[in-house]
Amino acid sequence: MEVGGTLLDRLRAWRRTTAKEAGVPAYVVLQNAALEQIAHGKPSTINDLRIISGVGAKRIEQYGEEILRLVAEREGKAQIGR
């Protein structure tokens, strides 16, 4: 089963860049399971992010808006293409 397709790829690329800038391993930013849940669930609010395992208050504060922007951009493009 494909989980989020291109969205998952974009999330992984964002995580890689974010981790490199912070000088930490990628899993410190977000673990694979959390990225997969985001790609599958396509959260649109901070409250949606809160129910994803591995996305706690600290990560929401640090990355929440950026994650939601990535999801919204991908979802917008998918809807335009329909």
Kindly report, residue by residue over 38-82, the tens digit of the pLDDT.
999 999 999 999 999 999 999 999 999 999 999 999 877 544 333
**Residue-range domain boundaries for the chain:** 6-80
In CATH, 6-80 is 1.10.150.80: yes
**Cα–Cα distance for residue pair 24/74, rounded to 1 Å:** 26
Read off the pLDDT of each residue in 17-25 and give the average, rounded to a whole number.
98
Quote the pLDDT of residue 9: 94
Q: Which alpha helices (H) appear in the chain, and where do they start and end?
A: 6-22, 26-29, 32-41, 46-50, 57-80
Quote the pLDDT of residue 1: 33
Instruction: Between 4 and 20, name the one with better pLDDT.
Output: 20
| pTM of the predicted model as reported, rounded to 2 decimal places | 0.84
Furthest C-alpha separation in the chain: 39
Whole-number pLDDT of residue 74: 84
